[in-house]
Amino acid sequence: MFVALGVIGIAVLAVALLFDDLLDGFLPDVDVLGSELLSGPVIGAFLGATGIVGWMLQAGAGAPGPVALGGGLAAGVALGWGTGRAVRSLMHSPTDATPRSSDLVGRTAMVVTGVRAGGIGEVLVSLGGQPVKLTATAGRDLPVGTEVTVVALESATKVVVEASEEFWG
């Protein structure tokens, strides 16, 4: 019986972790003592730990059925509670805002392909912690390696730049 309970618990846990968005709404989330007690991962962890620890106590240590059940339930409650806390922590962790093209204005960039006055070149700018290469235009020639500031957007991939010393004047 313990082995079957452990296998069912592990299966519920795997399905809950892999397909939680699809299963959302089938089980209500009850928030008691800071833990979502009826979420799929919590139920799966509880059943899995109860079955596996109960089986280990009964088959491995020779404990009588009621003792194995008690030990399994204690382990299930502990692991279920811990899983609830972990899921809650992950679900409510803060994230950075999604970067937008408009966030480029005012950022410092580096010319990587020379910009000719009235023509185009390329600059490398950091957006969301990642380097992004953009087409750039400027009012004067800017050689490779010049530090520039993005002053306007012409499109999602084309910016207007000025040499940083001009911008900050």
Q: What confidence score (pLDDT) does residue 131 get?
A: 92
3 touches 47 (CB < 8 A): no
pLDDT in tens, 125-148: 988 888 999 999 999 999 999 999
Considering the chain, what percentage of its residues have pLDDT values greater than 90? 43
Task: Identify the bridge partners of residue 131 per DSSP, sorted by sequence position.
Answer: 126
Looking at 1.10.10.10, 3.40.50.1010, 2.40.50.140, 1.10.1740.110, the CATH number of the domain 101-168 comes to 2.40.50.140
Mean per-residue pLDDT, 142-156: 93
Is 150 a residue whose pLDDT tops 90? yes
Residue ranges of the domains in the chain? 2-91, 101-168
Residue 46: what are its φ and ψ, rounded to 5°?
-60, -50
CA dist., res. 167 & res. 110, Å (int): 14
Mean per-residue pLDDT, 78-107: 84
Q: What confidence score (pLDDT) does residue 30 get?
A: 55
Is 124 a residue whose pLDDT tops 90? yes
- Please list, in sequence order, all residues whose beta carbon lies within 8 angstroms of the beta carbon of residue 48, skipping any fewer than 6 positions away: 6, 8, 9, 10, 12, 13, 76, 79
pLDDT in tens, 44-76: 899 999 999 999 999 888 889 899 999 999 999
Residue 21: pLDDT band (50, 70, 90) is low
Q: Which residue has the higher pLDDT, 114 or 43?
A: 114
Q: Which helix (H) or strand (E) holds 124?
A: strand 120-127
